[in-house]
Every structure is written in C-alpha cells, then in structure tokens.
Amino acid sequence: MRGAIWIGWIWVMGCCMTPAESRGQNLLWNDTLVLLPLSSLAPAGTSLVRFSCYQDLSYRINFSGLFLQNWQQDPNTNNLFLQQQLKYRIQLNTGSAFRVTHLLSHDLGFQIFFDSITRFQPDENTLDTRLELKLSKSLQLIVLSNLSTRFFNCYDYVAGSAGVDRYLSASFLTPLLWIFSGGLGWNLREAVKVDVGISAAKLTYVRNKKIFSQPGRESCFGVSMDQDYRFEYGLTFHLLIDKAFLTRFHWDCDLLLFKDYHQPVDMTLKSLLAVRITRFLKTSIQTRLYYEREVSSALQIENLISVGFFVSL
C-alpha cells in the first residue's frame, strides 16, 4: 500500500514538470503572476534612499600666559589663560526639499590671576536648530531656534567697607536665553545666509535667585526680582557667513537681531577669523559684540586673539 502511494506521488510530480503546450503555459503565467517592471517603481537615475545624514566635529584648544616682573601698573596682570572650543554639527536631508540642521557650540575659557581670582571667561554654550523647506533655488521657509546658557558661576567684585565683596552675576540657566522664530530665508551665493523672522519670540529664564543678592539690583537681564522669566514677542534678523578663502583663511560670522515691539533692538554678533599655520596649528581673532538695553546701555565688546591646536573630523 505504501509503495503504491509513493508511485502515485512520483507520477503526479512528473506530470506537473512535463512541458505543456504554449497556450497552457501562457494561461498558467497570466493567472498566477503580476509582473511589475522596475520603471514603474522608480525612474531611471532616481535613488531609492530618501534620507541622508551629514555630521562634522571640530575641537580647538589655546593656551597663553602673561608674566611680568617689577611691573608698576595693574598689579594683577600676571595670569594664565586656557580656552577650548568644541563644535558639532549634524544635518538631516529628506530629498532635496526639507532639511534639519543642529549646531552645538561650546566655548570655555579658564583664566587664573596668581594673586587674585580665578574665573571662567568666556563660558558660552549654544544649540542652534534650523528647519528649512525649500521653495525655490535660493528661497526657503524656515523655523529657527537659538538656545544659550553658561555652565559655571560668574561673579562681580565690588569694593566694600570690609574689603572686596563678591556677588553672583550669572550661573547655569541664569540666564537661559531662547529665541525662536519662523519666516523666510535666502541663500546669497554659497557662503551667506540671510533669515528674516516674521514672527519671533524671546524667552529669558532666571533659575538662581542669588543673582539678586547684590544691593540695588532689582532686575537681571530684564527679569524682575519677583519673576522667574520674561517673554517677549517681535521680529528677528539673522545673518550667517561661513567662508573659506585664500587656502588658509576662514571667516565665521553670526549676527542675530531681535526687535521687541515695545523695546529697543537686542544685538549679538560673533565673528571668528582663523588662519591655519600648519595642519593642526591655527591662530584666530574672535570678536563678540552684545547690546541689550536691560543689561547695559553701552555696547559690550570682547576681543580674543589666540594661537592653539585645532582638530577637525
């Protein structure tokens, strides 16, 4: 009985594998298969990968010292200065129309006065986020976010009756500045971007209330003593320049203007001109300009000239 079953099974398989007539073959294929040519899935030359990601990392460290002997002016001028700068950028592209870019910047300086104080200056940490929706070759719809704060405490030193008094002037999340906006952006050539925030807002947050311990200080960065934050609404203008020229030179410029409808304009300008001496050695001139009426009616300027090691990945 079992042998008959095996013989019958072999006979059925043989019949199925026996070549059939042309009409039978066509009927079989037409009834059981639906053929989709590749041209209907993707046009020739079109990549099936819809997402791409790019990232870069750069790190720079500078060291300088100033040592004087028998100096008759400015007795606290002998000092050591160490500065590091870290930048990390990641960019996500979805096709050619939408792009998201994150830029994390960390600047930290450590300055030691031998017979006086030690301070962290500069101490600035920013996270920039940029969303772009391409409308034409040089025009985009944009959403911008700029978040910044410092990590370490900063103090003001005031002469008092018992000596020098120290008062907190800034610390972590004191303040936290967040400017976000939506508007239009233009690409001018390859290295220049101009953004206009048609609708923008600015949030200033103060976490550490010890900043109000200094006598006579009733507000800090526009935030009053009985509040934790201040919210402003207005317009923004943002200019970015990232230009390399003459092989060894590189210029980064970041200008951000915020105009509250009822207050004067706030300005932040960061400019960095770097010159590459060797593969890992670079000198730079860094300039920062700040103007915020709630902090000071004068334009604040910081210049830093440095030479140090530079690594880019």
- 204-214 per-position pLDDT tens digit: 999 999 999 88
Between residues 36 and 67, the one the model is more confident about: 67
Q: Is the pLDDT of residue 194 over 70?
A: yes
Q: Is the pLDDT of residue 290 over 90?
A: no
User: Which of 27-36, 110-119, 128-137, 155-164 has the least mean pLDDT?
Assistant: 27-36
pLDDT, the chain, mean: 81
Its domain, for residue 240, covers 50-312
The answer to the question of residue 17 being in a domain is no
Q: Is the pLDDT of residue 170 over 50?
A: yes
- Mean pLDDT calculated for residue range 277-295: 84
- Kindly report the backbone phi and psi dihedral angles of residue 30, in degrees, each rounded to the nearest multiple of 5, phi listed first: -65, -30
pLDDT recorded at residue 207: 94
The answer to the question of residue 15 being in a domain is no
pLDDT recorded at residue 4: 53
What single letter denotes the amino acid at residue 254?
D
- Mean pLDDT calculated for residue range 157-161: 77
- Mean pLDDT calculated for residue range 178-194: 90
* Inter-residue contact 109 to 138 (CB < 8 Å): no
- 115-124 per-position pLDDT tens digit: 677 788 789 9
pLDDT category at 80 given cuts 50, 70, 90 is: confident
pLDDT recorded at residue 23: 45
How far is it, in rounded angstroms, from Cα 236 to Cα 130? 14
CATH code for the domain in which residue 198 is found = 2.40.230
* Inter-residue contact 132 to 144 (CB < 8 Å): no
* Pairing status of strand 249-260 against strand 265-276: antiparallel
Between residues 96 and 259, the one the model is more confident about: 259
Between residues 43 and 259, the one the model is more confident about: 259
Between residues 176 and 262, the one the model is more confident about: 176
Strands, DSSP E only, in 47-160? Answer: 51-66, 79-94, 98-113, 118-134, 139-149, 154-160
pLDDT category at 92 given cuts 50, 70, 90 is: very high
Express as a percent the part of the chain with pLDDT over 70: 79
Between residues 249 and 308, the one the model is more confident about: 249
The answer to the question of residue 209 being in a domain is yes
The answer to the question of residue 35 being in a domain is no
pLDDT recorded at residue 9: 54
How many domains is the chain partitioned into structurally? 1
- 8-43 per-position pLDDT tens digit: 555 555 555 445 444 444 444 444 444 445 444 555
How far is it, in rounded angstroms, from Cα 109 to Cα 124? 9
pLDDT category at 72 given cuts 50, 70, 90 is: low
Q: Is the pLDDT of residue 44 over 70?
A: no
Between residues 80 and 56, the one the model is more confident about: 56
How far is it, in rounded angstroms, from Cα 84 to Cα 120? 11
The answer to the question of residue 44 being in a domain is no
pLDDT category at 179 given cuts 50, 70, 90 is: very high
The answer to the question of residue 68 being in a domain is yes
pLDDT recorded at residue 50: 74
pLDDT recorded at residue 140: 93
pLDDT category at 95 given cuts 50, 70, 90 is: confident
pLDDT category at 200 given cuts 50, 70, 90 is: very high
Q: Which helix (H) or strand (E) covers residue 6, if one does? A: helix 2-17
The answer to the question of residue 18 being in a domain is no
